[in-house]
Amino acid sequence: MDDPALHLTLRIEPASLNAWPALHQVLHDGWLLRFCGGFTKRANSVSIITRGSTPLAERIDFCESLYRHQGLAPVFRLTDRCPEPGLDDLLAARGYAHIDPTDVLTADATALAGRPMTDELGRDAWLEHYSRLSGSPEQARRLHGLLLSGIRLPCRFGVVLDAGE
């Protein structure tokens, strides 16, 4: 592959979807609609996987209807490599706005070498650390636990310590 940025995108997007699963999902004409009771936008949003075959407006209507039926505001996750030309403009014309932009940062994991780390934690112990540090309410913690239970690929949980904390 000649484009290193595209190669990285093609690795990161699937990894992020697998690492942060939704409780329910629907694949509709190249778009992945994800539902997790409103816990986090990533797990309750439309990810554009491939270019679809039906008109954009019809797919947007479908997504809006399904999210509203679930009691959720529709959210469309667009990357800088969105395979649907014109989607951003069409969403803007419907009143959608860019919110909460995400910067995807990468680093070589060997950069953590030499930093104190906990022993591998179980999911619940890690979630306890995360909830305490993020100030998550109990309802969010419960949904987060369900979301983490949905990870089907091998994974590990741990924390990096800074000055013993």
Q: How confident is the model over 30-51, as pLDDT tens digits?
A: 999 999 988 889 899 999 999 9
Give residue 111's pLDDT.
67
Highest mean pLDDT among 14-23, 38-47, 83-92, 113-122: 83-92
Say what the alpha-carbon torsion angle 125, 23, 94, 99 is, to the nearest 10 degrees. 10
Number of other residues whose CB lies within 10 A of the CB of residue 72: 16
3-state helix, strand, coil in the chain (%, to 5): 40, 10, 45
Nearest to 126 by CA among 155, 164, 159, 165: 159
Mean pLDDT for all residues in the chain? 88
Say what the alpha-carbon torsion angle 138, 139, 143, 145 is, to the nearest 10 degrees. 20
Give residue 102's pLDDT.
82
Higher model confidence: residue 62 or residue 100?
62
pLDDT at 60 over 70: yes
Q: What are 25's strand-pairing partners?
A: 34
Residue 163, helix vs strand vs coil: coil
Longest dimension (CA), the chain: 55
Which of the 8 DSSP states describes residue 117? B
Give me 133's structure tokens: 């540090």
Highest mean pLDDT among 2-11, 41-50, 89-98, 150-159: 89-98
User: What value does the CA radius of gyration of the chain take, rounded to a whole number of Å?
Assistant: 18
Residues 6+ apart with CB under 8 A from 30: 48, 49, 50, 51, 52, 53, 83
Give whole-number Cα distances, 71 to 42, 51, 141, in Å: 16, 27, 20
Phi, psi for 138 (deg, rounded to 5): -55, -40
Phi, psi for 128 (deg, rounded to 5): -60, -45
Question: pLDDT tens, 100-153?
Answer: 888 877 777 776 666 666 667 889 999 998 899 889 888 888 888 988 998 998
Q: What percent of the chain has pLDDT over 70?
A: 93
